[in-house]
Chain A
Amino acid sequence: MSAPLLQAKALTRRYALPRTSLFKPAPDLVAVNSASFSLHRGETLGVVGESGSGKSTLARMVMAFEAPDEGHILFEGQDLNAVSSQELRRLRRRFQMVFQDPFGSLDPRRSIGWSIAEPLRAMGEDSKARVDEALEQVGLTASVAGRYPHEFSGGQRQRVAIARAIVTRPALLVADEAVSALDVSVQAQILNLLLDLQDELGLGILFISHDMAVVASICDTLLVMQHGHTLEAGPAHEVLNAPTHEYTRSLLKAAKA
């Protein structure tokens, strides 16, 4: 098998909590405790857990928005926290993110064409043709580039957010609860879109969700987290069919209810 697209080695991230006593050091909250995984091109890794499990902190470290206190993140073999800032800027086009709330992540006063082109501008390029192509890739038409976010439904807005993420032709897409705010039928459409894009572009997807049913539909491997700890990890069919941890079973039960 080829070298992994993304590799996390014993990632740990702590946040300082407010001091409880003058005479003791401030306590730490361990948001992510020694998480390790690898993700290959064209595959999807699901990170499952509830609020406070550390899954979003993990995503922020993968995106190099913040650095781990311990451990390493290798993207295409390069340690994201060891490369120069210029090199990191150059690498950023190769990994992009889609957020939960398409209302919050699109500027209401800018046309969606402008928003989609933003990552390109950050790289010092601006290509109308590339924006149009990205719009077509997510199932919209190039003619909507001049419209504003309020003219779109929730599902269409999430398509726009995905277009912005793929406009730089990334190898890795980090989706943080990207379908959680959507209606059931729209959710299915967006999941299918992600699968289509994966087949078409060979994207590796890090898919963060609290919903076992959603990750079951698109993930190859799973990582179950609780309070920063990795409870279990492995091929999706093993985790789903034979969960070893009580917490995983309770998540599955909640999804089946």
Chain B
Amino acid sequence: MIEMQSFSVSFGAGEALREASFVITPGDRLGVVGESGSGKTMLGLSLMGMAPDAAKLSGKLRIDGRDMSGASERDWQALRARKVAMIFQEPMAALNPLRRVGETLCEPLRQHLGLSRSAARARAFELFEEVGIPDPEARLEQFPHQLSGGQRQRVLIALALACDPELLIADEPTTALDANVALRITDLLVRLAKHRNMALIFVSHDLAAVARATAEIMVMYGGEIVERGPTRAVLDAPAHPYTRGLLEARPSPQSKARGPDGKRPRLTTIPGVVPQLHDLPAGCRFSGRCPVELPVCAAVRAPVCAVAADRTAACHALVSEGGA
């Protein structure tokens, strides 16, 4: 359905996304993890034809076999909402505070689908029921500030589903929510994807949420896909040193006693900071922070190695381990 091939997004000399390649078919649930500046949001925006104007795009992006590389804004408009829809992190910022959520939801139904006022209203009611908003009739009449954070996110999901998209991109959908609410929203997205046979791209820095929501995972760092494979397998036995670092840096909810000197054990960290776009290393993006770095890493891009039949990781250390 969607195919990206050596797709890059650059700003001047800085590459926000470097040669990303992947394929999405209906029903896929793909997690994209990485920290700020890893390029995960740029990936999502590119799939919506919403990369900033200043960005230079190269490589191929095909949607339903059609090459979208040079597509105009009008071409994209025809695809958005019906083919690909997106929800964002901050539901308050994405909703118009001066309009009742029902009006907001009816707009795409009338614009894109050409429904009459009453048909749009009926459809909005169904959508609210589908995303689990209690008492939809009353909620449709409310303004965004009258809803809780979790309900606002449900409204946005309903809005994204309005035109029955084949792919839903959720960019950090749970980050602004309380832990329990985040779990429910994650489960809702999975249920909707399965029920509608809709593809889901779940972009998040929250590994636990991605593990819960997706079957496949791509780990990104510095604009590159550094590791990919089945979510469970990758998180259980990460092959790339960055994936390992991310997993080790996560605090666990077990209690930790102070040592005999009265000091608390420290958390494992990845040393250093994510480099700025304009001074990313030329070779492997993770060089300079990597615990298993080889002399070759800073200058030469890491080759993509097969870790298992359905898993790859881009790392020089994996090559030398393999005896190549």
Contact = CB atoms under 8 A, between A and B. Distances in A.
B205 A188 contact: no
Contact of B268 (A188, A211, A218, A254): A188
Contact of A256 (B35, B253, B257, B273): B253
Interface string A188-231: 11011001000100000000001111101110100000000000
Given A183-B35, A216-B253, A256-B253, A199 B263 contact: yes
A185 B267 CA distance: 10
A188 B249 contact: yes
Is chain A's interface secondary structure helix, strand, loop, or mixed overall? helix
Interface in B236-259: 245-246, 249-258
Interface in B149-181: 149, 178-181
A156 interface: yes
A77 B208 CA distance: 43
Contact of B249 (A153, A154, A184): A184
Say which size band chain B's interface belongs to: 35 or more
A134 interface: no
Given A188-B267, A195-B264, A210-B179, A153 B273 contact: yes
Contact of A254 (B36, B179, B205): B179
Interface string A144-184: 00000000011110000000000000000000000000011
Contact of A257 (B35, B178, B212, B267): B212
B273 A217 contact: no
A52 B79 CA distance: 40
A250 B180 contact: yes
Contacts of B181: 50
B246 A185 contact: yes
Interface string B103-114: 000000000000
Nearest to B149: A51
Contacts of A255: 179, 208, 253
28 contacts: A42-B262, A153-B274, A156-B273, A183-B35, A184-B207, A186-B273, A192-B269, A195-B264, A195-B266, A199-B263, A210-B178, A211-B251, A213-B251, A216-B251, A216-B255, A216-B256, A218-B264, A220-B258, A236-B255, A237-B257, A240-B254, A240-B255, A250-B180, A251-B180, A252-B253, A254-B179, A256-B253, A257-B183
